[in-house]
Structure 1
Amino acid sequence: MRVLVTGASGTLGRKVVPHLVAAGHEVRAMSRRPRPGGDGVEWVVADLGAGTGVDLAVTGVDAVVHLASATRSFDARVDVAGTRRLVTDSAEAGVRHLLYVSIVGIDEVPLRYYRLKLAAERIVTTGEVPWSVLRATQFPQLLDGMLRVAGRLGPVFGDRAMLVQPVDPGDVAGRIADRLVAGPGRTIEEYGGPQVLRYDEAVAAWSVARGRRRSLLSIRVPGRFGRAVRAGGLTTTATPTGSRTWADYLADTYGGSARK
């Protein structure tokens, strides 16, 4: 199968591309900047936000794995207008399956970025291209980064009762490969990590792994956001789940040694 991967240079894309190549697919990887080919990957330049190169990128592919997202700028030109452009161009090119990777909780947790992702989902699910949506829980890299910020002044700030369910990008890449083989199910599937953790549990393990004992300064996050996350809005009971745990990520990243 010839597969286009948008957002191929991101955290998840860097796992998805080699996984699909190893599974025997012909992979076309999309990036906003020129990149050298090799390792069975054809790189193409296209920009969803600017609307350039997308029509050429989808030409001749059987399926599209849509990972690209404005995770830092929360730019509707990428997540909403860009997804609409991708769906339209894919339909005109005769693409047979568009698999969109989204986030667990976007319909429950009130965040601007999540509203954009939900809008993008609706574009995919009402478009002409046969589709699948895979909603994943948070990556451990994101939780790690959040804890670094929350603990930059010493104690780690946060709501001890909030629930998280980190899922490894490699596990998500494997699930994407399975969904491609299964074909467009026109369903929204959820996929999470193997453990649901309270924030205080995640902080304790993180502190030990980094060799720097950090106390938790618990603050109760108010409003709809706090209530939604404490109630498990960012978690799922769906099966199957990934296999790699938060502890696995911490061991790989810090090796139990102190990090300054």
Structure 2
Amino acid sequence: MTTILVTGGTGTLGRHVTELLRADGHEVRVLSRHAQPYAVDLREGGGVLDVALAGVDVVVHCASTPRGGDERAAGHLIEAARRARVRHLVYISIVGVDAVPLGYYRSKLAVERLIEASGLGWTVLRTTQFHDLVARVLEVLGRMPVLVLPAGVGGQPIEVREVAARLAELAVGAPAGRVADMGGPEVRSLASLARAYGVAAGRRRRAVVRVRLFGRVYRAFRAGGHVVPGPGAGAGVGTFEGYLGERFGGGEGK
């Protein structure tokens, strides 16, 4: 049995990782801002972090926020992991962090580099966006009378439970460095994903306006910097329609 700490262990991904590792017989500690007994804001650090890491073999670092502070949080975690002699740090990152000049992506890339230079055994897995994030974006966009989408941009959403299973597998293995990126089974246009979401949610079909945007971020997305390249390269199986069917109780569209 391995003692494993999951940061962000109450979040969208972390809770699934925690469940899988516990089901496999491992002792799992959950660290988040509010989860007792290891309630820690990693951006602030503190003594509770050392307590949480005492005797831990592996850390799965899922905690992250687009509101800033990921690099500071990773620094505190790495320092504490060194003190605790953690043998393996596993980090979940995003496909395209080195290709898309988005602020949050740059922060995730900086954390990757901190982990690589940490002196700890490490593994980094990059994945495409989870189904639920794509759905949240489409939910917000769908509130407008006309659905406005950036022209020429697609996505490759992936089932979060598949990512959790891969992370759990990596956590109990040896440090592997940067492993193969993981993406969903299909690269889809945003218009296609929006139509599927509208059908599943029972929404009236709306006019779609595709707008050509400008700037380096948009160009990187149009170039596919955020998807796993190559035919069949994505390791995921669960489709966006499958996710929508679970969420809404049915509905197909593509």
TM over 0.5: yes
CA distance in 1, matches of 2:23, 2:13: 16
Write the distance in 1 (CA, Å) between the matches of 2:65 and 2:4.
22
Deviations 1:215-244 (CA, angstroms, capped at 9, x unpaired): 211111222111111111110037461211
Structure 2 counterpart of 1:29? 30
8 Å CA contact 1:107–1:118 kept in 2: the answer is yes
- Which consecutive unaligned segments of at least 5 residues does structure 1 have? 36-42
Q: Where does structure 1 differ by over 4 angstroms across 4 or more consecutive aligned residues?
A: none
Among residues 152, 156, 159, which one is paired with 2:143 in the alignment? Answer: 152
Which amino acid is 1:45 matched to?
A
Q: Any idea what the Cα deviations from partners look like across 1:145-176, whole Å, max 9, x if unmatched? A: 11111121222211242120101110000001
> Of residues 132, 135, 138 in structure 1, which corresponds to 2:126?
135
Question: Aligned partners of 2:17 and 2:153: how far apart in 1?
Answer: 29
Using the alignment, how far apart are the partners of 2:23 and 2:170 within structure 1? 15
Match of 1:68 among 41, 63, 81: 63
1:161, 1:200 within 8 Å by CA — same for their partners in 2? Answer: no
**SS of the counterpart of 1:29?**
strand
Matches of 2:169 and 2:35 in 1, distance apart? Answer: 29
In 2, the alpha carbon distance for the partners of 1:51 and 1:6 equals 13
- 1:46 matched to which residue of 2? 40
CA contact (8 A) 1:208 1:256 kept: no
> Take 1:188 and 1:31, find their aligned partners in 2: how far apart are those partners?
26
Deviation per residue, 1:157-216 (Å, 9 max, x gap): 112421201011100000011112331012243111111111111111111111212221
Question: Relative to 1, partners in 2 of residues 1:202 and 1:156: Cα closer, same or farther, differing over 3 Å?
Answer: same
Normalised by the length of structure 2, the TM-score is: 0.92
Q: For the Cα contact (< 8 Å) 2:228–2:234, is it kept in 1?
A: no
Contact 2:101-2:216 within 8 A present in 1 as well: yes
Q: Determine which of 81, 100, 114 is the counterpart of 2:72.
A: 81
Does 1:100 pair with 2:105?
no
SS of aligned partner of 1:205: helix
How many matched pairs?
246
User: Does the Cα contact within 8 Å between 1:67 and 1:101 map onto a contact in 2?
Assistant: yes
**How far, CA to CA, are the matches of 2:111 and 2:73 in structure 1?**
9
Contact 1:160 1:198 in 2 (8 A): no
Structure 1 distance, partners of 2:52, 2:81, is: 9
Percent identity between matched residues is 41
Contact 2:184 2:234 in 1 (8 A): no
Q: Retained in 2: the 8 A contact 1:211–1:256?
A: no
Please provide the CA RMSD for this pair: 1.5
Offset at residue 33 of structure 1 (A) = 1.3
Q: Is 2:237 the partner of 1:243?
A: yes
Task: Note if contact 2:186-2:234 (Cα within 8 Å) is conserved in structure 1.
Answer: no
Q: Secondary structure at the match of 1:123?
A: helix
